[in-house]
Amino acid sequence: MAFQYNALSGEDGNQSVEITFHRGGHYVLKKRWTRSKGEMGVLALGESGIYTSQDNVLILQSHTGRQRQAVPGVEGYVISDPGALDDYRIDGMQLFLPDA
């Protein structure tokens, strides 16, 4: 069964993530940080890749080779991003479907 939604999004502390899904099995991930005035650090980043869906589990494969899974949770999807320690890390984040 194909994934039938066009986006997932969520927040964790000062980070927000949005993943949009496009025709042909492509996705775009955008991650943003809310920082205090004068606070140093990354403000935003993004990546693109391809996705597949099997048994309602999304497999995201970035064009740089990183692989993640979005697994259905109690509400929305929980991201599995094992071993990631960089700014692109979204392991454990809960992402939700858009409001209908």
For 51-91, the pLDDT digits (tens) are: 999 888 999 999 999 999 999 998 899 999 887 778 888 99
> Nearest-CA neighbor of 72 among 55, 48, 89, 49?
55
Please provide the average confidence, as pLDDT, over all residues in the chain. Answer: 90
- For residue 13, being part of any structural domain is answered with yes
Cα gap 53→36, rounded to integer Å: 38
pLDDT on residue 1: 40
Query: Per the structure, how many domains does the chain have?
Result: 1
- For residue 77, being part of any structural domain is answered with yes
- For residue 100, being part of any structural domain is answered with no
The domain spanning residue 33 has which CATH number? 2.40.128.300
pTM of the model: 0.88
Q: What domain range includes position 50?
A: 7-95
Say yes or no to pLDDT of 16 above 60: yes
